[in-house]
Copies of this chain bind each other. A is one copy, B any other.
Amino acid sequence: MSNQNFKSIIESLLFVSSKPLKIKDLCKLLEKTPEEVKPALEELIADKKNAGVVVLDNNGEYQLATNSANSTIVKNFLNAELREKLTDATVEVLGIIAYRQPISKAEIEAIRGVNSQYSLRHLLIRGIIEKTPNPSDARSFLYQTTTEFLQHLGLTSMKDLPEFEKLVEQIKLPDASQLARDDSQPRPAPAAEPETNAETNPALRIKEDKEKYNHDPNEKK
């Protein structure tokens, strides 16, 4: 079978499938290895990039969808509304998931510093994110974005988003040189005998509740 044939068959299968297809689904159907299927698939994606129907690539899951450039006319034709805009809370959660997926609820909440259960639920119901089993803990789940995420934002692939490092290059994490700054300000003296004073300042023995972020009894499937 030639690349041309592969491309044609892949397009046909994506067209009739009621859900996104994975590379491994395509390999099974075509009775070929990923090494054989992938180049054809990538060619198909490139061919259709500017067509009326594009191939969405959601981290190895593929689905056909209309080109987002035709958003308005397609929306009008379907007599549908555009998808509701994301709220500040949900977009914040989504920004974390988009760049750190798959990620647990605990990790999301550690980054945001606030409970994110309702935003997650909202995003799940809208189908913008989905749960996937957590390989390191069978009782919990990780969250990742879906093809609906791509459709909502008019992307064809996560590659349409800039790399995280690039995006945040102006926002640097503190390093040693930054920490040794400005002597005119009162700086905390280094703790001389750190282990001796636990009892004397009980009020200062408030520790971060690390448990909180490691254990989440409410996590469900």
Contacts and interface: CB of A to CB of B under 8 A. Distances in A.
B196 A80 contact: yes
Contacts of A53: 11-12, 15, 53, 64
Contacts of A148: 115
Nearest to A109: B125
Nearest to A47: B51
Contact of A9 (B70, B122, B131, B139): B70
Interface string A91-134: 00000000000000000011001110111011011110011000
A13 B73 contact: yes
Contacts of A201: 16
A162 interface: no
Interface stretch (A153-161, A164-172, A178-186): A178-186
A197 interface: yes
A29 B183 CA distance: 42
A88 to B, nearest CB: 7
Q: Choose among A69, A83, A181, A201 the residue with the greatest number of B CB atoms under 10 Å from its CB.
A: A181
A118 B182 contact: yes
Given A8-B51, A12-B52, A74-B12, A196 B79 contact: yes
Interface of A: 4, 7-19, 29-30, 44, 50-53, 64, 66-67, 69-70, 73-74, 76-85, 87-90, 109-110, 113-115, 117-119, 121-122, 124-127, 130-131, 139, 148, 178-186, 188-189, 191-193, 196-197, 201, 203, 212-215, 220
